[in-house]
Structure 1
Amino acid sequence: MVRPVIFSGALLLLLSIPTSLGFKSQDFKTCAQAGFCRRGRALASRAQDNASWKSPYSVDSSSISVSSGEASFTAGVKSSLYPDVKFGLDVRIHDDGVVRVRMDEVDGLRKRYDEAASWALIAEPKLSREISWTVGKKDVRAVYGTKKENEVVVSLEPLRVSLLRNGKEQVVLNGRSLLHMEHYRTKESSRPEGTPEEGLDEDDAQVVVQVKPNAWFEGEVEDGYWEETFGGNTDTKPKGPESLSLDITFPNHGHVYGIPQHATHLDLPTTTGEDPTYSDPYRLWNSDVFEYLASSPVSLYGSIPVMHAHSAESTVAIFNAVASDTWIDVDHPTLKSTNTHWISESGILDVFIMPGPTPDDIFKQYAKLTGTSALPAHWALGHHQCRWNYISTDDVRSVQQRFDEHDMPVDVFWLDIEYAEEHKYFIWDKKMFPDPVDMMHDVEALGRKMVVIIDPHLKRTDNYPVYKEASDLGVLVKSKSGDAEYEGWCWSGSSAWIDFFNPGAWDWWRGLFKNTSQGDKWSWVDSTESTYIWNDMNEPSVFNGPEISMPRDNVHYGGWEHRDVHNINGMLLPNLTSQALVARSDPPKRPFVLTRSFYAGSQRFGAMWTGDNLGTWDHMAVGISMVLANGIAGMTFAGSDVGGFFGNPEPEMLVRWYQVGAFNPFFRAHAHIDTKRREPYLLDEPYRGMLRDILRLRYTMLPIWYTAFHDANIYGIPVLRPHYVVFPKDEAGFSLDDQYFIGDSGLLVKPVVHKDVTETDVYLAEDQVYYNYFSHYAYRGSSKGKHVTVPAALHEIPLLIRGGSIVTTRERPRRSSPLMQRDPFTLRVALDKVGYAKGQLYLDDGETFSHLEGNIVWRQFVAEKTAKKSKTIRITSSDLVSQNPDAAVEGVSLTKYDPLNAFAKSVESVRVEKMVVMGLGGKPKSVRVDGGEELVSEFTPGVAAEGKKEGAASVLIVKDPGVSIAKDWSIVIEV
């Protein structure tokens, strides 16, 4: 959010008030302004210029120790530059083939931060007991895989780790000899002031300089080792230099994706080499970036150090478990290879190499490490309406009334910071919100929910019980002295920050959300169980801090400096908040928490959004790429602010924004306090009707979205699937990020993100028929790939159904999704070119955790010919869990699963009210439930029978077949 004038008593503090729109680059460092990044890039430059460059790190062969019965070994590592400095190497292979490589300083002057992985991982990974290491004179290696296709080789001198498949290198660590773990050292005599690097301003960077004995490797001077100044803030570095540089090479993969969050293409552009797209590396440093650019490597609100590398042959990935400020250079020395260079301020080397070899394999391997995305409450997939701010209880009631008057569905109303008295979170401003609980009950009466913002900074005043309790408990972040509470400035004025690394904060925070009295402890009694939470500003954002954040030398629990834990910091708040929401209910209900800041593993706790975007076409477009990038890195419950947070989009742009939002996993309209009100009912016709249609379309498709989220929860596969995920061998689509598939539904969407568009180009990768979702027009792809032109006037959404798919919808217009629980279903059967289709539907109560006890409906629908040369189609429904033990719900034993479970019985009367079958070979002679009477149906012939031609497809509409959504059945269409 933009930083306004802040009042604290009689004090008026002016903080970062924008004088004009646009990203303020001076607020954030470039690589050249960060000492450790300068040092890391300089190392790479010297290596590139020196043909005889050799890494100083080597494995001490006499120290190699191989664990008996487990695929792991340890060894000592020595540096030829610093013989007295010791390092330890630990390499292990997990039972799913993932390789973990750890290296840390041994017996150093201080301990390096080594806890990043422990916050991200769901458990300590199990090691393989079927793999053994072979120790040779030059290397240590292990071969594994069902066909012994994978091999890990650890070269001893110099240290080099590579993963091979079928003899070809897939991932190489230190292949370019850029590994450098700056060891801890004592501060020698040095000049108090140094000469700034070229391009730095004297006021913005002071560099402490000392001539170095190992200039060929570490550089000629001590550059920013012990102190740095930026933007008037001095960062003391009591531990001295501790950065980690590591080159990670993908010798046979020409495309890399991931490392969110950045506003850029999914297929990451280059930052070095010939004619790079960006001059600076990608940065991972959770930041509150005001009006970020629509194309930039600048770090944004979250950091997930996960990178996929892809080629037509395979997909591999790495997870670099580091929590400090990290810069990543990307280069393609050839069209088929990728070099990356990771430069982190602190931490140990802890890299997980995921062997794939398919994108789906990567998702499962990463999910096994950090967990899958939480299965959200069903209502959370509906339409969310927000702005900064709905100013009163009457305002909220009025907005709800207007939505209902205009027959527009909505599930959630949001309140930003102005609900809170003096920005003291949990405390209502009773002048404007005199009856908050009654207001919430009014919203809940129609099945809706409310979301209220809770930020991690606390107003420093003793009349604020939340701050007083946190201070008394000693669970606030400390200043660099380690004993005094850190004071910074945020929305509340003078503020303190909860240190969620401190276990003493955990139970206390969970207790705050109880909506019943907790004795002498404060709790949020002015709330209900249908009040959910938005965690913002948790990077953390500090208005008067360096780079609008917390000083790096602040101290957290355990004595760790903020520099060590910064990128993890943002994930702890939604973690504890989600736990609090679960704990407040009996029986527990699924939480909903939206977070702005995140790290690897944050997918377990809720949703995220792409932050303070602008209402422009460019931001609309890049938001799609950002959501895709977050999804492949695990954070799949993602979306961008519909309409843009800043600005006043014209009606055409707003319609297109809603089309984009309706096909994001998280669908929220949000706007800045200075924007004009733009609730969808405020537009004039025909735009208002268009928005109503878009909202209703989202609600009809909720079964598709919920099923896709279930798949994400079970398998770790993203809800939105980029082209390379669905067609991993189609090179023509590896850089596509403006069209994507929704789960495995077969729905292909290409939102329009440009002005004055009436038609658009959609790429089809295969020799298959695709049907227009609305008109049933059939397009034919090609085995060589084909571009087709799809109508895209303002009222039209380019949405295609892939032949071979069955999608399930609910078509009754409702005011909110809970009111749809007993609505009937429509099945759309899109036959492929051989007359086959399949799909799935997942249902549960959408609110509790009873699905973990097997109270679910998970059906598979299949349409296929009754015989090879027959045109008769049989459509069947069967229980998916019973026939596929590997697909069983996580935590549910198949032996305890009952297809007639309590939930299934509760919905057995819910029926299929309509079927739409596209691509039949001719007019049916009869349509009947197997063993039953003839069903009422209508047939419209088309030229695209069985997907053989392009044009209008044949369409059969079966009216009210009456079959239960929760039972087995079969419908025969005799042609």
Structure 2
Amino acid sequence: MRAFCSLLLLAAVPAVLAVKTQDFKTCSQSAFCRRGRGLSARAQEASSSWVSPYSVDASTISIAPNLASFTAAVKSSLYPDIKFGLDVRIHDDGVVRVRMDEVDGLRKRYDGAASWALVAEPELSSKIRWSVGKADVRAKYGDKKDVEVVVAFNPLRVTLLQGGKEQVVLNGKGLLHMEHFRAKENSPKEEPAGESEQVVMQVNNRAWFEGDSEDEYWEEKFGSWTDSKPKGPESLSLDISFPNHGHVYGIPQHATRLSLPTTTGENAYYSEPYRLYNADVFEYLADSPMSLYGSIPVMHAHSAGSTVAIFNAVGSETWIDVAHPSPKSTETHWISESGILDVFIMPGPTPADIFAQYTRLTGTPALPAHWALGYHQCRWNYISSNDVRDVQKRFDMEDMPVDVFWLDIEYAEEHKYFIWDKKNFPDPVDMMHDVEDIGRKMVVIIDPHLKRTDNYPVYQEANERGLLVKSADGEKDYEGWCWSGSSAWIDFFNPNSWDWWKTLFKTLPQGDRWSWTDSTIDTYIWNDMNEPSVFNGPEISMPRDNVHHGGWEHRDIHNINGMLLHNLTSQAVMTRTDPPRRPFVLTRSFYAGSQRFGAMWTGDNLGTWEHMAAGVRMVLANNIGGFSFAGSDVGGFFGNPDSEMLVRWYQVGIFSPFFRAHAHIDTKRREPYLLDEPYKSIIRNVLRMRYSMLPVWYTAFRETSVTGLPVLRPHYVAFPHDEAGFAIDDQFFVGSSGLLVKPIVEKGATHTTVYLPEDQVYYDYFTHDVHRGASKGKSVTIQADLHKTPLLIRGGSIVPTRERPRRSSPLMKYDPFTLRIALSNQDVAHGELYLDDGETYSHRDGHFVWREFIAEKTEKKSKAVRISSRNLAAQKPGEAVDGVALTKYDGSNDFAKSMADVRVERVVIFGAATKPASVKMGDSELQWEYTQGVAASDKREGMASVLVIKDPGVSITSDWEIVVQA
């Protein structure tokens, strides 16, 4: 929701947006970014004569016994008296962690970013050994001993190689610079010159490396604000090169292309670096490297030969330049305001390996509640209890499914969150029960700013407990301005705030502690404004010199700050009940590891075609960043989209992991039932499509909760060797389902082109038309009239759906299934289905159903096809659930027993070569219909043959076989 909206009536949104760029810094307005880019410019100008001043003191190397870890002292030729420490370690899975910090400095640098992001301290390898040479330390490992890490001494340089080729290089360009802590009177410009030749050389070298003047070391102004910078300069510069990788992805959140464009050089796509600084950006541009609401400092580098990645565990503002010195290589320069060097190098070598390595560090996405994958209806604001009831009634009258209704800030009296405005919401619990009667839920917003007033118990308790963020003096509680007016902010870095915050969400009285008794256990939470957004603060945020628990300045932890709110809110919601139920928490601000706690959305987008397209790319980028449960506001937050745009946006939304419509308070009401025909009926069918595919989405989320593989997969993830697909970001695959989606994001489109990356048959989901790829990739034209989303099923896939229209997803629990079998060129197919109760954690105790469906020839040269179902959990017990490996799985568990009567009501086979002679299960002939068409094994295109097997009478939980005899 918009942070400081002027509440203007938005009749339309212009194509060229008026983002208030003056509210946010550019690199040239940020002193430490200027210094970092200046360093890079001097290095480029000096070219081959540029040498990094940092080197390893070989005499100090200490190798840990029986572990792949070593430490060493690092010195800088610019400042011989300043000490640095290097710590390099290799984890069990081959990930390399490189840390460097100032030792015995005047102050301590913030080193806690990784502790918030990591699920646990990684296990070090006990099998890998470091070898110390005259010029470097190195280690080889991997199944083929083809992975090598080399730490060069002078200058310090860290290289990951695979097969003898450089994959990742730290400080290869000599841009490493850790600005050490210093006393103000001993700044370089005040050092005596001329005392000796050595001093003169030292001063000259410092000017050559750092610049010849202090650039706002001790105080910095931006607009009317002054940052006191009491610790002085402490930025960190580091170049990270990928010499054999021409594409890089990640570092969400930015509204840009998936394959990140260049920011330096004559042909730079952007003149500014990518900025990671969680910010509340008004009307953000649809194509820009500007910072937005969240920051995940992870970057993938990809080529046809391998995928590698880095995770830079830093919590402060960071600017990143990207350059492509050749089509096959990438150079990046990371400039952070504060913190230590703490970089994790992930060796891959495949995208799947990278996702596994990254999520072993920061955690896999949480398996959401099943209902959370349904449709969410929101606006700023439903104005009363009766308004909510009326909206629900209209959805039911129009036979439109919906699972969740949302309340924005106007539900709260004077924006005192948790406290209902009883004038408009006199009966909140009764209202929620009315929504819950047919399995629906409510989500209510809880923002982090607290109204500073004694009649607000949440603020009063936080104040009395000393839990509020302090001003720069470290003594006075910080006061800023937000929706509540004069506001204070809870310091969630203070451990004393944690249990207290969780108690607030209890729905039963908690003795003398305040709790939210005017809510229910089916009330879930939306955390907005947690960048944090401060209306009267610099860059619409908190001053950097504010002080948090432990004495850390806000600048040190800014990008981590928002994550703590939704982490603790998630825990609070989960522990409202005993046993706990899965929480749902939506967050706007996020950091690495946020995927463990809930969902995110891309913020306050606009109702334009450009923003619709940008939202697709942004959601893909968040999936690459490990945060799969992502979506953009359907319809755009600002503006009044016309009916065509709204239809197309719903078609985008049903193929987003998080699916919510949301709108600004000054937009016209645009609930889908308000549209005229035919648009209303089209959207009704679109919504039903989402609900029919909930088994696909839930199965995909099970996979990401175990493996880390994203729910939405761009082409480089699904087909990592196909170079023609590396830059594609307007179409994607849904999990491992075989569904290929190409959303329409252009006005008036009736056709589109879809890229097929392989020599395989693809079937149009709706028309059953056959499209064929080629060994080197091929683009095909797909019909895309307004009622139709281009959606293809890859040959070789089996897609389970539920086709009964229902009002909400919990009402579908016992509905039968349809299996769509898309035969491959080789007349085979495979698919999966995962089910559990969708709300509790009983699946971690083995209470679930996980089935594999297979279509294959009965014999190698036979024309007969066997379709079978088997228990997949029994074969892969360690993969079965999120985060818990089962050593034994009981297929007759309680949940499976409860689903025993749920049947497969229809099997549809695309591409069968000939009309069957029989379709049998055992000795029983089944009912079926066959329509002649193109076979999967043909080379032709046209309408596919379709075999429909009617109600075979098989349970979704049991093993069975159907034989189609040609």
Task: Provide TM-score, normalisation by structure 2.
Answer: 0.97
Q: Is the 8 A contact 2:878 2:887 kept in 1?
A: no
Cα deviation for residue 2 of structure 1 reads 3.4
Q: Is the 8 A contact 1:944 1:952 kept in 2?
A: no
Q: Give 1:232-271 correspondences, 5 Å limit.
A: 232-271=224-263
The one-letter code of the counterpart of 1:609 is: W
Specify whether residues 957 and 654 from structure 1 end up closer, same or farther in structure 2 by C-alpha distance, changes over 3 A only. Answer: same
Who is 1:198 aligned against?
A: none
Give the match for residue 96 of structure 2: 99
- Residue 29, structure 1, aligned to residue 25, structure 2: yes
> 2:293 aligned with 1:297, yes or no?
no
Structure 1 residue matching 2:561: 3-state secondary structure: helix
Query: What is the CA–CA distance in structure 1 between the aligned matches of 2:883 and 2:561, rounded to whole Å?
Result: 29
Tell me: CA distance 1:122–1:891, structure 2 relative to 1, closer, same or farther (3 Å).
Answer: closer
Counterpart among 326, 336, 341 of residue 344 in structure 1: 336
Contact 2:877 2:887 in 1 (8 A): no
**Structure 2 residue aligned with 1:647:** 639
**Deviation (angstroms), 1:587:** 1.8
CA distance in 2, matches of 1:703, 1:680: 24
The one of 513, 520, 530 equivalent to 1:521 is 513
Letter in 2 for 1:941: Q
Which residue in the other structure is 2:927 paired with?
936
Q: Distance in 2 between matches of 1:388 and 1:134?
A: 61
Q: Match of 1:562?
A: 554
Q: Is the 8 A contact 2:503 2:572 kept in 1?
A: yes
Say if 2:73 is the partner of 1:82: no
Matched with 2:275 is 283
Amino acid in the other structure paired with 2:42: R
Matches within 5 A, 1:687-766: 687-766=679-758
Give 1:784 deviation, angstroms: 1.2
Match of 1:228 in 2: 220
Distance 1:472 1:522 in 2: 13
8 A contact 2:86–2:99 mirrored in 1: yes
AA in 2 matched with 1:161: V
C-alpha contact (below 8 Å) 2:95/2:345 kept by paired residues:
yes
The alignment status of 1:369 with 2:357, answered yes or no, reads: no
Contact 1:609 1:638 in 2 (8 A): yes
The CA distance in 2 between the partners of 1:400 and 1:817, in whole Å, is: 15
Q: Name the CA shift for 1:947/1:904 in 2 (closer, same or farther; >3 Å).
A: farther
Aligned to 1:49: 45
The letter of the residue matching 1:457 is H
SS of the residue corresponding to residue 326 of structure 2 reads coil
Q: Distance in 1 between matches of 2:867 and 2:144?
A: 38
Query: What secondary structure is seen at the aligned counterpart in 1 of 2:644?
Result: helix
Distance 1:98 1:129 in 2: 13
User: 1:15 maps to what in 2?
Assistant: none
What does residue range 483-498 of structure 1 map to in structure 2 within 5 Å?
A: 483-498=475-490
Within the alignment, does 1:873 sit opposite 2:869 as a pair?
A: no
Corresponding residue for residue 945 of structure 2: 954
Map of 1:140 onto structure 2: 137
- Distance in 1 (alpha carbons) for counterparts of 2:174 and 2:936: 60
Matches within 5 A, 1:50-449: 50-51=46-47, 52-188=49-185, 214-449=206-441
Report the Cα distance in structure 2 between the residues aligned to 1:483 and 1:716, rounded to whole angstroms.
Answer: 43
Query: 1:42 Cα deviation (Å)?
Result: 0.1
Counterpart contact for 1:944–1:950, Cα < 8 Å = no
Cα distance, 1:6 vs structure 2: 10
Cα distance, 1:885 vs. partner? 3.9
Indicate the SS of the match to 1:577. helix
The equivalent of 1:197 in structure 2 is: none
- Distance in 2, matches of 1:486 and 1:79, equals 39
CA deviation profile, 1:780-835 (whole Å, cap 9, x unmatched): 10001111000000001100000000000000000000000000000000000110
Question: Which residue of 954, 961, 965 maps to 1:970?
Answer: 961
Partner SS for 2:787? coil
Q: Aligned partners of 1:906 and 1:932: how far apart in 2? A: 28
In 2: Cα distance, 1:39 partner to 1:725 partner = 36
Give 1:460 deviation, angstroms.
0.2
Choose the corresponding residue for 1:474, options 457, 466, 469: 466
Q: CA deviation at 1:274?
A: 2.5
Cα distance, 1:899 vs structure 2 = 1.0
Give how far 1:882 is off.
1.1
SS at match of 1:846: coil
SS where residue 50 of structure 1 aligns?
A: helix
Q: CA deviation at 1:895?
A: 3.5
2:363–2:593 CA contact under 8 A, matched in 1 = yes
Match of 2:325, SS state, is: coil
Q: TM-score, normalised by structure 1?
A: 0.96
Q: Secondary structure at the match of 2:669?
A: coil
Partner SS for 1:789: strand
Distance between the aligned counterparts of 1:412 and 1:216, measured in 2? 60
Matched residues in 1 for 2:655 and 2:880: separation? 28
The answer as to whether partners of 2:3 and 2:529 remain within 8 angstroms in 1 is: no
CA contact (8 A) 1:59 1:77 kept: yes
Deviations 1:619-666, CA, capped at 9 Å, x for gaps:
000100000000011111000000000000000000000000010000
Change (3 A) 1:97 1:619: same
Is it true that 1:464 corresponds to 2:460 in the alignment?
Answer: no
Structure 1 residue ranges (4+ consecutive) displaced by more than 3 angstroms after TM superposition: 1-7, 189-192, 890-896
- Equivalents in 1 of 2:862, 2:146: separation in Å? 43
Residues 255 and 338, structure 1, Cα contact 8 Å, conserved in 2:
yes
Do the aligned partners of 2:54 and 2:76 also contact (CA within 8 Å) in 1?
yes
Report the 3-state secondary structure (helix = DSSP H, G, I; strand = E; otherwise coil) of the residue aligned with 1:962: strand
1:590 to 578, 582, 588: 582
- Within 2, Cα distance between the matches of 1:737 and 1:128? 37
Q: Partner of 2:953: helix, strand, or coil?
A: coil
Determine the C-alpha separation between the residues in 1 that align with 2:938 and 2:811. 38
Q: Secondary structure at the match of 2:283?
A: coil
CA contact (8 A) 2:137 2:151 kept: yes
CA–CA distance in 2 between the matches of 1:124 and 1:419?
Answer: 42
How far off its partner does 1:887 sit? 2.4
- Return 838-847 or 897-906, whichever deviates more: 897-906
Q: Alignment partner of 2:614: what SS? A: helix
Aligned residue for 2:842? 850
Instruction: Describe the SS at the equivalent of 1:507.
Output: helix
- Cα 1:354–1:485 shift into 2, 3 Å: same
The offset of 1:768, in angstroms, is 0.2
| Equivalent-residue separation in structure 2 for 1:438 and 1:91 (angstroms) | 58
Using the alignment, how far apart are the partners of 1:37 and 1:410 within structure 2?
A: 47
Is the 1:6–1:492 Cα contact (8 Å) retained in structure 2? no
Shift of 1:365: 0.2
Q: Deviations over 1:43-88 (max 9, x none)?
A: 0000000030100000000000111100010000000010000000
Equivalent-residue separation in structure 2 for 1:251 and 1:279 (angstroms): 23
Q: 1:509 to 1:837 in 2, by over 3 A?
A: same
Contact kept? 1:287, 1:539, Cα under 8 Å: yes
2:569 maps to 1:577: yes
Deviation, 1:896, is 3.3
1:191–1:348 distance in 2 versus 1, CA, 3 Å? closer
Which one-letter code corresponds to 1:736 in the other structure? I
Counterpart selection for 2:654 from 641, 654, 662:
662
Q: Is the 8 A contact 1:924 1:973 kept in 2?
A: yes
CA shift for structure 1 position 946: 2.8
Deviation at 1:881, TM superposition (A): 1.4
**What is the match of residue 612 of structure 2?**
620
**Alpha-carbon distance between aligned partners in 2 of 1:536 and 1:530, rounded to the nearest angstrom:** 19
Is contact 1:227–1:236 with CA below 8 Å preserved after alignment? yes
Query: Which residue identity is paired with 1:278?
Result: Y
